[in-house]
A and B are shown apart, each in its own frame.
Chain A
Amino acid sequence: MTFSWNRIGIYGFILAGSVIILFPLYLTLTTAFKTPEESAESLLGLPSSLHIENFVRAAEMSNYFSAFFNSLLITVVSVTFIILLGSIASFAIARNQHSVFYRVMYYFFVSGLFVPFQVMMLPLVQQLSAVGMMNKWGLIMLYATYGLFQCVFLYVAYFRSIPREVEDAALIDGCGVFRMFWYIIFPMLKPMTITLIVLNIIWIWNDFLMPLVILNNAADWTLPLMQYVFESQYAADYNLAFASYLMVLAPVIAVYLFLQRHIIGGVSDGAVK
């Protein structure tokens, strides 16, 4: 490659951008391991040694592990619901576009994409409290419902690329609708399924407003909600605060490091479709 000012400009731009993106994370990482004395000496420097006391204290003060498992349970169960219910509903809708009923159903499912949660927030609180569902199971039901909007939108579009001949052949072989779906159709949806799993995990794992409104009991708290509750106790101790932020972000960072290619691929597929 030949030397040119143009290329230097490009690399300069991209490096400067990377620094801006990574700076808050660098700050989080270094500060979390430092003592207050070290931070006072040098705000941005590296820690002299890896102080893990901050993490131990942060975990003790909150209910970190309980919140972690709540987040995990809520995310996994909700995403499973979304994928299962969304894929079968999309299959029914996509294969019946000649019927008015199913076309209306399509717009009905997709309409939810435009409704802000705030519209339903106050009535939902009434509705869920009235039946004692202000807990993680109620929250899962809500995610399972609101995840369907996007799920149906993307799956139905994806079905256009799947030929119907396969299904006809399977039916002629005497394969029932459900078996046909599970063994033949669902595997063919895999690229879109991965996209949807990624998008929904990012959404549910990080969501704050719905847990805040719905979870009435400390035993059900998720990681962002726990951070919100304990923020005022951490915040005064700069290093402790960053340790607690890092603990909430760490699971996501770890997954991202290993699966970033699939995650980025999934998101870009989902957006372009």
Chain B
Amino acid sequence: MQNSAYKSLRKGYLILLLPGLLLLALFYVYPVLSALYMSMTNWDGVSRSHDFVGLVNYGAALTDPRFLNALSFTLQYAFVSTILSNIVALSIALVLVKKIKFRNFFRAVFFFPAVLSMLIIGYIWQQIFYHVVPYFAERLNIEALQTNMLGNQDLAFWALIIVTVWQASAILVVIYMAGLQTVPEDVYESAAIDGASGWKRFSRITLPLIVPSITICVILAMKQHLMVYDYIIALTDGGPGFATESVTLLIYNLGFLNNQFGYGTAVALMLFVFIIVISIIQINILRKKEVQL
């Protein structure tokens, strides 16, 4: 082979990389670096000057009851919806991989919510919580649900969970189905000979084999739920009171309403750290399970 062809190839590779690299430099690296800098200033977004304050904003966040409230809500919300949506999705996937009639139709139904706008889904459920749930609750005599769940500080959390699980399970069903289909039939057959059945077969054989799918689904769901925003805007706007104010909503409010650009950016960077830490913990826990196989 000629040397010059390879030389031109090497140059060619670099040219292929450049456009993407340029975009990343402008719209990813630059804003992230600005964020790091901005988080260490007291800039209010209006004044023509600002001061460098070091890590003051980060320290302030850790003692700010509003941030801690938002963080605690976001973590609870993310954990509960991640666990519930994974349980629901796995149950559905386990049924859908069986030889049932209209399997493709059902698969299409269960995946459907994944393609819809979270904001619009939020608005539709808002109407359901206002009109439909109390309508049924009155007929069934369920006192607690006769008023709008979104107006109640405890129930608003669960209303958000319902909507989240309804939509977030959709994509997880498809991932679990793909994972389950890689489990070879003969594994089940030999298990059947050994007399394993039902729950035992699921927990001893199926579950360990699909740990990679679980890892993907849990991390995917957790990251998405830690960044919840659209549902909050459509359903509660952070209320009642501050009961459902997520960290993302707090960042938006700090930046655009409270004129605290520096502090808001610091909070955003702390959210980033939380996402990384939680992802690493999850990967470690789940990888240990994989090794045990």
- Chain A residues contacting B120 (CB-CB under 8 Å) are 224, 227, 245, 248-249
Q: State whether the Cβ of B95 lies closer than 8 Å to any Cβ in chain A.
A: yes
- Chain B residues contacting A17 (CB-CB under 8 Å) are 92, 110
- Chain B residues contacting A177 (CB-CB under 8 Å) are 8-9, 12-13, 15-16
Residues 92-116 of A, flagged 1 when their CB comes within 8 A of B and 0 if not, give 1101100000100100110010111
- Chain B residues contacting A235 (CB-CB under 8 Å) are 123
- Chain A residues contacting B124 (CB-CB under 8 Å) are 24, 27-28, 242, 245
* Given known A119-B265, A241-B123, contact A261–B27 (CB-CB < 8 A): no
Question: Are the C-beta atoms of B178 and A271 separated by less than 8 Å?
Answer: yes
* Given known A119-B32, A119-B268, contact A238–B276 (CB-CB < 8 A): no
- Chain A residues contacting B108 (CB-CB under 8 Å) are 256, 260-261, 264
* Given known A17-B92, A177-B9, contact A206–B178 (CB-CB < 8 A): no
- Chain B residues contacting A126 (CB-CB under 8 Å) are 34
- Chain A residues contacting B269 (CB-CB under 8 Å) are 119
- Of A108, A118, A227, chain B has the most CB atoms within 10 Å of the CB of A118
* Given known A14-B106, A227-B123, contact A206–B23 (CB-CB < 8 A): no
Q: State whether the Cβ of B82 lies closer than 8 Å to any Cβ in chain A.
A: no
Q: How many A-B residue pairs have CB under 8 A?
A: 247
- B212 and chain A: residue at smallest CB distance: A272
Tell me which of A48-56, A61-69, A138-146 binds B: A138-146
State which residues 219-275 of B face A: CB under 8 Å: 220, 223, 226-227, 229-230, 233, 247-248, 251-252, 255, 261, 264-265, 268-269, 271-272, 275
Question: Are the C-beta atoms of A43 and B132 separated by less than 8 Å?
Answer: yes
Residues 231-263 of A, flagged 1 when their CB comes within 8 A of B and 0 if not, give 100010010011001001100100010001101
- Of B24, B131, B271, chain A has the most CB atoms within 10 Å of the CB of B24
Q: How far is A28 from B123 in the complex, measured between Cα atoms in Å?
A: 11
- Chain A residues contacting B160 (CB-CB under 8 Å) are none
Q: State whether the Cβ of A202 lies closer than 8 Å to any Cβ in chain B.
A: yes
Question: Are the C-beta atoms of A120 and B32 separated by less than 8 Å?
Answer: yes
How far, in Å, is B145 (CB) from chain A's closest CB? 15
Question: Are the C-beta atoms of B19 and A145 separated by less than 8 Å?
Answer: no
- A247 and chain B: residue at smallest CB distance: B120
Q: State whether the Cβ of A127 lies closer than 8 Å to any Cβ in chain B.
A: yes
Q: How far is A122 from B119 in the complex, measured between Cα atoms in Å?
A: 22
- Of A28, A120, A125, A181, chain B has the most CB atoms within 10 Å of the CB of A120
- A9 and chain B: residue at smallest CB distance: B95
Q: State whether the Cβ of A208 lies closer than 8 Å to any Cβ in chain B.
A: yes
Q: State whether the Cβ of B121 lies closer than 8 Å to any Cβ in chain A.
A: yes
How far, in Å, is A129 (CB) from chain B's closest CB? 11
Number of interface residues of A (CB under 8 A): 86
A10 touches which of B100, B233, B265 (Cβ 8 Å)? B100
Question: Are the C-beta atoms of A224 and B119 separated by less than 8 Å?
Answer: yes
Residues 31-72 of A, flagged 1 when their CB comes within 8 A of B and 0 if not, give 000000000000110000000000000000000000000000
* Given known A17-B110, A122-B261, contact A89–B16 (CB-CB < 8 A): yes
Q: How far is A51 from B275 in the complex, measured between Cα atoms in Å?
A: 47
A252 touches which of B20, B28, B96, B115 (Cβ 8 Å)? B115
Question: Are the C-beta atoms of A18 and B31 separated by less than 8 Å?
Answer: no
Interface size of B as a range: 35 or more
- Chain B residues contacting A114 (CB-CB under 8 Å) are 223, 272, 275-276, 279
Q: State whether the Cβ of B21 lies closer than 8 Å to any Cβ in chain A.
A: yes
- Chain B residues contacting A205 (CB-CB under 8 Å) are 117
Q: How far is A112 from B94 in the complex, measured between Cα atoms in Å?
A: 33
Q: How far is A184 from B79 in the complex, measured between Cα atoms in Å?
A: 46
Q: State whether the Cβ of B135 lies closer than 8 Å to any Cβ in chain A.
A: yes
How far, in Å, is B238 (CB) from chain A's closest CB? 15
A256 touches which of B26, B32, B115, B175 (Cβ 8 Å)? B115
Q: How far is A238 from B95 in the complex, measured between Cα atoms in Å?
A: 37
Could you give 25 example pairs across A and B, Cβ below 8 Å?
A: A24-B128, A28-B124, A43-B135, A89-B19, A92-B17, A93-B17, A105-B21, A116-B271, A118-B227, A119-B31, A119-B32, A122-B264, A122-B265, A125-B255, A127-B34, A145-B28, A171-B1, A171-B6, A172-B5, A176-B12, A242-B124, A249-B116, A252-B115, A256-B115, A267-B111
| Chain B residues close to A by CB (< 8 Å) | 1, 5-6, 8-9, 12-17, 19-21, 23-24, 26-28, 30-32, 34-35, 38, 45, 91-92, 95-96, 98, 100, 104, 106-121, 123-125, 127-128, 131-132, 135, 166, 170-171, 174-175, 177-179, 213, 216, 220, 223, 226-227, 229-230, 233, 247-248, 251-252, 255, 261, 264-265, 268-269, 271-272, 275-276, 279
The list of the 4 closest CB pairs from A to B, nearest first, reads: A177-B12, A123-B34, A89-B20, A120-B31
